[in-house]
Amino acid sequence: MIEVSLCMIVKDEEAVLARCLECVKNIVDEIIIVDTGSTDRTKEIAQSYTSNVYDFKWINDFAAARNFAFSKATKDYIFWLDADDVMEVKDQQSFLKLKATIPPEVDSVLMNYHIHFDNAGNPTFSTMRNRMVKRSCQFKWVGEVHECLNVHGLVAQSNTVIYHKKEKSSAGRNLKIYQEKLKQENSFSSRDLFYYANELLANHYYQEAIIEYDIYLKDTSGWVEDRVAACIQKSICYYHLQQPVQQVSALCESFLFDIPRSEVCCRLGEVFLNQLADPDKAIFWYTFSLNLPAPPTLRGLYNEPHTRTWLPHIQLAAAYERKNDLEKALHHTKIALEINPDNLNIQQNNDMLLTKLTKEEDTSYA
């Protein structure tokens, strides 16, 4: 079995750090904690789990801090987490199985990262990250913000899942770092431009974000997943600016970069249903989403699992209800409920439609 070093960078994480470390303390062989300037009990909590706690002066560069943490690792592979990440028991077991069975030629391991969740705890927004890497490869982090590992060689994919249970917002912090970087360099790389636009969106600078997304999309070097995401994000800006026609245009722009994605189709359905009051077009796009083939493994940000399953059905129910076709509305609601039985909104919608249909039947008999 290989040995694994866990490497983390932290700052003022007393609320969540112990929760994270409790998940991994029995599955990793070494814990490295790098503190970038905490003023709370973060270091004290870290020291209760490991003696390998180091200070790193914060220089507005996440990659630099992570590279410093990686430099302290001594085991075969390096595994990284953020303080607000957690692992369920089944994923801890999956991780241990991975340690016992990983082929020696594997240089990096991808793991699914669930970021946002619905009220029932089901993931609605996920990504794939290079989560565990061979230490001897000396892979480096790049990017001051939204940093990523620059990996090469043989990359494997694990069933292990990491859950991001965010407790505090960092949007303003990241935007400030980008603004300082822009003052110093006057321009961004394609990757930084994409994430700078995302930070502008997160901080409600919608017009400015649209400008940056447009500049990014003119650069042909961007990763396909990010270009599709940029179109979606631009449509969200137009949503907040109450410009539904431009929202449709931004979503359709994604078709220039790849075949239609279910998320894009569902968003088009939402625009036609709720903003343009055209349930027939909404029905077309939601139905189209359901008929799309399952996508290949996605390594960018994606909402695919629910936009290909229960979400189109519950939205089709809403569209058919607008057309006063309650039988079809109930049909799609029941399908959505079979897929997502714990969703309270779907349960309530099902009960409401049953009540309406019962009243209609009673009226017809009268």
- Considering the four listed CATH numbers 3.40.50.2300, 1.10.357.20, 3.50.30.60, 1.25.40.10, the one that applies to the domain covering 171-358 is 1.25.40.10
pLDDT at 97 over 90: yes
User: What is the residue extent of each domain of the chain?
Assistant: 4-164, 171-358
What is the pLDDT at residue 125? 77
Summarize the confidence of residues 99-118 as an average pLDDT: 93
| Calpha distance 314→332 (Å, rounded) | 6
Tell me the pLDDT tens digit for each residue of 293-351: 876 655 444 555 688 899 999 999 999 999 999 999 999 999 999 998 988 889 999 99
What is the pLDDT at residue 364? 61
CB 171 within 8 A of CB 203: yes
> Is-above-0.95 flag for pTM?
no
DSSP H helix total and E strand total for the chain: 15, 10
Tell me the pLDDT tens digit for each residue of 153-177: 999 999 999 999 987 767 688 999 9
Average pLDDT, the chain: 92
Same fold, 4-164 and 171-358: no
Residue 9 tokens read as: 């960078």
What is the pLDDT at residue 305? 67
Distance (Å) of CA 329 to CA 278, 312, 314, 334, 336:
16, 12, 8, 9, 11
Tell me the pLDDT tens digit for each residue of 215-273: 999 998 888 989 999 999 999 999 999 999 999 999 999 999 999 999 999 999 999 99
Q: How confident is the model at residue 358 (pLDDT cuts 50, 70, 90)?
A: confident
| Calpha distance 67→141 (Å, rounded) | 6
Q: Which fold has domain 4-164?
A: Spore Coat Polysaccharide Biosynthesis Protein SpsA; Chain A (3.90.550)
Task: Count CB-CB contacts under 10 A for residue 196.
Answer: 27
Summarize the confidence of residues 34-39 as an average pLDDT: 98
What is the pLDDT at residue 118? 72
